[in-house]
Structure 1
């Protein structure tokens, strides 16, 4: 009994969404920044073979394609969240450092140069 392609895609996307460890990809994006984003885009795990038990080859191929597409989407999304937090914190840090230096130079005044 073959399911139609839309049902297979819905099933594969649901499974990929639940199989993806979102916290890990968030931490990867947070810790590795742009490299984490690249890793999230490149890395794709295969769906468990148990999901293809007594299924046709066409089902397996279509399911795998839909699964990997959704998996990549979720991984990149959460790695991007981590990356954006890192980027915002870095910008806040830079602004803080510049404000400290500008205050320091104002306190010193023209005597410094």
Structure 2
């Protein structure tokens, strides 16, 4: 995995927060073959994604929970918005893949 497996930006504008998220992950479907040996590459893909907002008072609010399958592209990019949030609050992302690997990242919401 890349040393920076989650890149995230969050920007507050006109009463809503827009989030852009890039997850570096190979997202192997289990149907691919190694180009050198021809051996099958085992399935390894993100199966759970959770996005949370940590408010100024420290409370955590779950914004999104997604269950993925092998049909999601390598290095998935997600772009969404939610009502509310505020500059200075935090957006945190966590994911887990079918191999038990986990990663997280967070950013502060900017104006």
Q: Does the pair score TM above 0.5?
A: no
| Larger relative contact order (CA 8 Å, sep ≥ 6) | 1
Q: Which has the larger radius of gyration?
A: 1
Higher helix share: 1
- Superposition TM-score, scaled by structure 1 size: 0.27
- Superposition TM-score, scaled by structure 2 size: 0.27
